[in-house]
Amino acid sequence: MSDVSFVRVEKASKSYTKASNNIPVFDNLNLDIPEGSFVALMGPSGSGKSTLLHAIGGLESLTSGSVKVDAVQISKMNQSQLSEWRSKTVGLVFQSFNLMQTLSAFANIELPLFLTKLSRAERKRRVNEIAELVRIDHRLNHRPSELSGGEQQRVAIARAIIADPQLLLCDEPTGELDQSTSAEVMNILRTLCDELEKTVLMVTHDPRAAAYSDNIYHFENGKLEFKRDQVA
């Protein structure tokens, strides 16, 4: 881990307009995530955790303020610039896995590689390599419905990192898993940070999952509170 900030959120505000009512989510928020660190974001339901994660991943725009990732200002990009940037820079992992049900684990993991120029043989080699890393190599012919929750989440993590993005954004990745399966998934996320030097931002409700991170931020009343810096 370095001291260089990989994600920098500055003066970020977000509000939604619903039936001409303004619904503020957060206001004037700052967050720095050092390169190669693992940050957990906690807070009550509805506090804006997913909204902030989506803003950092370029999935949702801010009302004002800026997001820089690896010194690139994404707040000013248009939709096509954003989707190209996202495909190279960001891996996304969700609570409910979001796998394609009709495809095998192998084909799910391979999907992002169709946006690259890799040959079929190179894609296969890469899928096998990543599948081994997340310990799902023995289930590659299975469809999602034939996998446990933990196995499905490992497939989703493999898919998220297959194109080698620097930033991994995880929204409640253990939300649907039991405790021992959660621990397996958290060990994998920790390994991706420690060994592949991914920068990881994870939203979680679970203090046991948050304990795998380097830093914890708590979201309350539209403010971010710093809870722990294990690495300092």
Strands (E), the chain: 5-18, 21-34, 38-42, 64-69, 72-73, 90-94, 167-171, 199-203, 215-220, 223-229
Closest contact distance (angstroms) between CB of 51 and ligand ADP is 3
Q: And the tokens for 60? A: 């949702």
174 binds Mg ion (CB under 5 A): no
Does residue 50 touch ligand ADP according to CB under 6 A? yes
Rounded to whole angstroms, the Cα distance separating 48 from 60 reads 12
Decide: 56 and 67 in contact? Cβ < 8 Å: yes
- Which tokens go with 196? 């592949």
Find, among 42, 29, 34, the residue nearest to 216 by Cα.
42
Structure tokens of 27?
A: 């206001």
45-64 binders of Mg ion (CB under 5 A): 50
* List 48, 58, 91, 173, residue binding ligand ADP (CB under 6 A): 48
What's the min distance (Å) between Cβ of 46 and ligand ADP? 4
Give the whole-angstrom CA distance, residue 165 versus residue 199: 9
Cβ atoms of 68 and 88 closer than 8 Å? no
Token pair belonging to 70: 């690896």
Tokens of 41: 């974001």
Number of residues binding to Mg ion, judged by CB under 5 A: 1
Which of 47, 89, 95, 215 forms a contact with ligand ADP (CB under 6 A)?
47
Q: Which of 6, 37, 49, 216 binds ligand ADP (CB under 6 A)?
A: 49
H helix count then E strand count, the chain: 7, 10
Among 23, 100, 211, 231, the residue binding ligand ADP under the rule CB under 6 A is 23
**Contact flag: residue 108 with Mg ion (CB under 5 A):** no
**DSSP 8-state symbol, 134:** T
Q: Give the shortest CB-49-to-Mg ion separation in angstroms.
A: 5
47 binding partner (options Mg ion, ligand ADP, none; Cβ < 5 to 8 Å by kind): ligand ADP
Stretch that binds ligand ADP, among 39-47, 69-77, 88-96, 187-195 (CB under 6 A): 39-47
Report if residue 46 touches ligand ADP, rule: CB under 6 A: yes
Query: Please, what is the minimum distance in Å from the beta carbon of residue 177 to ligand ADP?
Result: 18
Contact between 153 and ligand ADP per CB under 6 A: no
Binding region for Mg ion (CB under 5 A):
50
Binding region for ligand ADP (CB under 6 A):
16, 18, 23, 25, 43, 45-51
